[in-house]
């Protein structure tokens, strides 16, 4: 049997990945194949369930053409956002639409088996609630609050995750859920979520998360930049010009020691305002505290200094500011914009936009869902699945 059988099928499917409905003729034009060949592939894709007819197109003077589109409910994916003190598990369809979610206040320091155990149980129960089978779940994406070696799915020396160093998260969950598991850093995943949902036409985006820590996810040329060891985008310990504040990392003048939640709270206490946590800073800003506004604007300026370098270095078209501190405070955004536009090269800022996160606290899970979907629907994986379905007797071999 010809092994290239389903090759072009995944090519056709790739065109439908954006969710838009298309006629057979449109697909033929876009793929370069003949209409008759496209029809054959569409039949294959419909028999697997990944594609479904969605009515007819308007007539252009003759018979109406039938429209086909990705069938989001064909399979399920799971997105998981693990924070320092919470875990969110969301069940979603292939279009990225959330179907059901679970949340637990769980300390990541309790260790991998406790956290991942809860996640596995949550997935099983969400799937059961929807009266679907675990076999329908084709991939799991998961974001962790620390450095992750994406290729192997293991955290590497994560500061706030004791017991997780080199733990094989991907394999542990795969054994229990029976599908591929993609692991990445939480900020990377937020960047992915933000880019795919709010900025689909932007190929170069930087997401800055400002909360108890500060980090960035960099998407360049449409691809997430992870670097050699998966630690790319670590803004928190970049030195801010003009600051000598001591940082827990041992160096001084780090951005995190100046502009992250704890540093802002400390600064407010110096001004005589009671604030001990990131949450309280957010609350003060929401109440309109003048001191909070002032300190947040200064923090924004410090972040802006560092982002100005990022702009010169990476040349993004959009910077998205996210994280708990960004949501509550326009001052942070104002401080950032002020410095970035002054300190970066004119050529790099000419078409640069600095925007607030669109997904309200949701970017992490959204990104995890995207990570899972993009793996499950990638040509390689789809080819293997189509091959397996066309020959149920043969074992699945991944090349």
Give the largest Cα separation in the chain, rounded: 78
- Is residue 7 involved in binding DNA (CB under 7 A)? yes
Among 228, 287, 288, 392, binds a second copy (CB under 8 A): 228
By CB under 8 A, the count of residues binding a second copy is 51
The window from 52-60, 102-110, 167-175, 328-336 that contacts DNA (CB under 7 A) reads 52-60
Crossing angle of helices 278-286 and 261-270, rounded to 10°: 60
The window from 21-29, 102-110, 130-138, 235-243 that contacts a second copy (CB under 8 A) reads 235-243
Least spacing, CB of residue 317 vs DNA, in Å: 36
Among 2, 228, 397, 398, binds DNA (CB under 7 A): 2
- Is residue 229 involved in binding a second copy (CB under 8 A)? yes
- Is residue 220 involved in binding a second copy (CB under 8 A)? yes
- Is residue 24 involved in binding DNA (CB under 7 A)? yes
SS3 53: strand
- Which 295-354 positions form the footprint of a second copy (CB under 8 A)? 305-306, 308-310, 312-317, 342-343, 345, 347-348, 350-351
- Is residue 189 involved in binding a second copy (CB under 8 A)? no
- In the block, tokens 């995890």 appear at 368
Query: Nearer Cβ to DNA, position 52 or 334?
Result: 52
Least spacing, CB of residue 295 vs a second copy, in Å: 21
Residue of 192, 222, 186 whose CA lies nearest to 204:
222
- Is residue 249 involved in binding a second copy (CB under 8 A)? yes
Least spacing, CB of residue 144 vs a second copy, in Å: 14
Answer with the entry of DNA, a second copy, none that 287 interacts with (C-beta below 5 to 8 A by kind): none
Answer with the entry of a second copy, DNA, none that 308 interacts with (C-beta below 5 to 8 A by kind): a second copy
DSSP, res 362: T
Query: Nearer Cβ to DNA, position 97 or 394?
Result: 394
Query: Nearer Cβ to DNA, position 23 or 317?
Result: 23
- Is residue 3 involved in binding a second copy (CB under 8 A)? yes
- Is residue 157 involved in binding a second copy (CB under 8 A)? yes
Query: Nearer Cβ to a second copy, position 85 or 378?
Result: 378
Reading phi first (left if > 0) and then psi (alpha if -120 to 50, else beta), residue 202 is in: beta
Query: Nearer Cβ to DNA, position 36 or 131?
Result: 36
Least spacing, CB of residue 243 vs a second copy, in Å: 8
3-state DSSP of the chain: CCCCCCHHHHHHHHHHCCCCCEEHHHHHHHHCCCHHHHHHHHHHHHHHCCEEEEEECCCCCCCCCEEEEECHHHCEEEEEEECCCCEEEEEEECCCCEEEEEEECCCHHHCHHHHHHHHHHHHHHHHHHCCCCHHHEEEEEEEECCCEECCCCEECCCCCCCCCCCCCHHHHHHHHHCCCEEEEEHHHHHHHHHHHHHCCCCCCEEEEEECCCEEEEEEECCEECCCCCCCCCCCCCCECCCCCCECCCCCECECHHHHCHHHHHHHHHHCCCCCCCHHHHHHHHHCCCHHHHHHHHHHHHHHHHHHHHHHHHHCCCEEEEECHHHHHCHHHHHHHHHHHHHHCCHHHHCCCEEEECCCCCCHHHHHHHHHHHHHHCCHHHHHHHHHHHHCCCCCCCCC
Query: Nearer Cβ to DNA, position 41 or 75?
Result: 41
Task: Tell me, residue by residue from 31 to 50, as one string, x for binding to a second copy by CB under 8 A and - for no binding.
Answer: -x------------------
- Is residue 223 involved in binding a second copy (CB under 8 A)? yes
Least spacing, CB of residue 304 vs a second copy, in Å: 11
Distances (CA, A) of 147 to 182, 187, 226, 343, 390: 14, 10, 10, 29, 40
Strand pairing report for 223-224 and 318-322: unpaired
The window from 32-40, 124-132, 136-144, 264-272 that contacts DNA (CB under 7 A) reads 32-40
Residues that bind DNA (CB under 7 A): 1-8, 23-25, 32-37, 39-41, 56, 59-66
Q: Which residues bind a second copy (CB under 8 A)?
A: 3, 32, 147, 156-157, 203-204, 216, 218, 220-221, 223, 225-235, 237-242, 249, 251, 253, 305-306, 308-310, 312-317, 342-343, 345, 347-348, 350-351, 399
């Amino acid at each position: 049997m010809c092994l290239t059988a389903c090759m072009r099928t995944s090519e056709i499917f790739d065109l439908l990945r954006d969710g838009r409905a298309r006629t057979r003729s449109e697909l033929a034009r876009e793929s370069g194949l003949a209409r008759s060949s496209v029809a054959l592939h569409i039949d294959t894709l419909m028999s697997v369930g990944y594609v479904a007819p969605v009515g007819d197109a308007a007539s252009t003077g003759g018979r109406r053409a039938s429209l086909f589109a990705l069938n989001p409910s064909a399979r399920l994916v799971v997105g998981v956002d693990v924070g320092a003190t919470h875990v969110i598990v969301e069940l979603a369809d292939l279009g990225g639409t959330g179907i059901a979610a679970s949340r637990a206040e769980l300390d990541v320091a309790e260790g991998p088996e406790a956290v991942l155990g809860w996640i596995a149980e949550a997935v099983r129960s969400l799937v059961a609630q929807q009266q679907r089978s675990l076999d329908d779940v084709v991939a799991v994406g998961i974001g962790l609050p620390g450095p992750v070696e994406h290729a192997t799915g293991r955290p590497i020396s994560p500061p706030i995750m004791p017991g997780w160093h080199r733990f094989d998260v991907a394999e542990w969950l795969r054994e229990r859920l029976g599908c591929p598991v993609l692991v990445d850093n939480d900020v990377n995943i937020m960047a992915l979520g933000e880019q795919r949902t709010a900025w689909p036409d932007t190929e170069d985006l930087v997401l800055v998360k400002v909360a108890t820590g500060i980090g960035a996810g960099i998407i360049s040329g449409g691809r997430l930049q992870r670097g050699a060891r998966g630690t790319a985008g670590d803004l928190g310990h970049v030195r801010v010009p003009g600051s000598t504040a001591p940082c827990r990392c041992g160096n001084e003048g780090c951005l995190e020691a100046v502009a992250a939640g704890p540093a802002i709270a400390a600064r407010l206490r110096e001004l005589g305002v009671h604030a001990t946590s990131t949450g309280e800073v957010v609350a003060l800003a929401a109440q309109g505290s003048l001191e909070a506004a002032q300190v947040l604007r200064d923090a924004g300026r410090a972040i802006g200094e560092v982002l100005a370098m990022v702009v010169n270095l990476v040349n993004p078209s959009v910077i998205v500011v996210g994280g708990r501190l960004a949501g509550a405070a326009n001052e942070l955004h104002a401080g950032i914009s002020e410095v970035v536009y002054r300190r970066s090269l004119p050529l790099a800022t000419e078409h640069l936009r600095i925007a607030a996160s669109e997904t309200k606290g949701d970017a992490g899970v959204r990104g995890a869902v995207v990570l899972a979907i993009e793996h499950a629907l990638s040509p390689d994986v789809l080819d293997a699945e189509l091959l397996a379905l066309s020959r149920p007797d043969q074992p699945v071999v991944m090349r």
